[in-house]
Amino acid sequence: MAGKVYASAAEALEGLTFNGMTVMAGGFGLCGIPENLILALRDSGVKGITAISNNAGVDDFGLGLLLQTRQIRKMISSYVGENKEFERQYLSGELELEFNPQGTLAERCRAGGAGIPGFYTKTGVGTIVADGKEHREFNGETYILETGLVSDLSIVKAEKGDTQGNLVFNKTARNFNPPMAMAGKVTVAEVEELVPTGTLNPDEIHLPGIFVQRIVKGSFEKRIEQRTVRKREHY
């Protein structure tokens, strides 16, 4: 359990990356994404990544940076509408895509972290989402089989963490970060604030440190995905 804290994102990923690996990246849009670890992943030069994430960031930020450098081979995701390069690569056949309903993606990650190989859901029945999947009836209703997801590496971002890897997430950042951290064979977390072990109230910890192997304190841009403002009214 000792020695989880690393001096930089690059050092935290050292020895963990390899070509063809599967990476889960937490966050939603640009909220709660592991900015520093994504940059370190880009700089590592690893190729052929299967990226599991709710979305692919934007063209010049988040996972969009890995699309720019052609390091992602396949995306398993839910929403990709903010990324022009993603659209271009997918439509030209350069990028493989496995679309998931958003709740299904979250449950696939949670199931993987809980050791559940598969589960049945009604979501997607009668659509292309169900193509090629096992169908089964329960109480007169049709369900499809979805598989749990695990990753070679999960990278997540938390508001606060201690030196043992116990994490506290800020509001919306709790959507995909905790289940993805649980589903990683190795999980690396970056935090805004790193505190000594014993500082956090146990009742406020969202993810126990047993799921986190490495942790690093980062600096964050926290870019807004779409800034919408209203014209100032004059009286």
The answer as to whether 47 is a domain residue is yes
What pLDDT, on the 0 to 100 scale, is given for residue 128? 93
Does 185 fall in a domain? yes
Total domains in the fold of the chain: 1
Burial 24-55 (b: 16+ CB within 10 A, else e): bbbbbbbbbbbbbbbbbbeebebbebbbbbbb
Phi-psi region of 57 (alpha: psi -120 to 50; beta: other; left: phi over 0): left
Q: Could you identify the residue written with the tokens 């329960």?
A: 138
- pLDDT at residue 235, rounded to an integer: 60
DSSP 3-state of 221: coil
| CATH number (domain holding residue 164) | 3.40.1080.10
- Series of mean pLDDT values for 10-residue runs along the chain (235 residues): 86 98 93 95 98 91 94 93 88 94 96 98 96 97 98 98 97 94 98 96 96 94 73 72
Q: What is the pLDDT of residue 1?
A: 43
Residue 11 lies in a domain: no
Q: Which residue is it, tokens 């096992």?
A: 134
Work out whether the CA dihedral 68, 70, 71, 73 comes out positive or negative. Answer: positive
Predicted local distance difference test score (pLDDT) of residue 20 = 98
> What range does the domain containing 33 cover?
18-119+149-217
For residue 138, is it within any domain?
A: no
Q: For residues 19 and 220, what is the distance between their CA atoms, to the nearest angstrom?
A: 27
Q: Does residue 129 contact residue 149 with C-beta atoms inside 8 Å?
A: no
In a domain, 2, yes or no: no
Token reading at 98: 């496995």
For the purposes of burial, counting CB atoms within 10 Å of the CB of 165, is it exposed (0-12), middle (13-18) or buried (19 or more)?
A: buried
Residue 9 resides in a domain: no
Residue 143 lies in a domain: no
The answer as to whether 114 is a domain residue is: yes
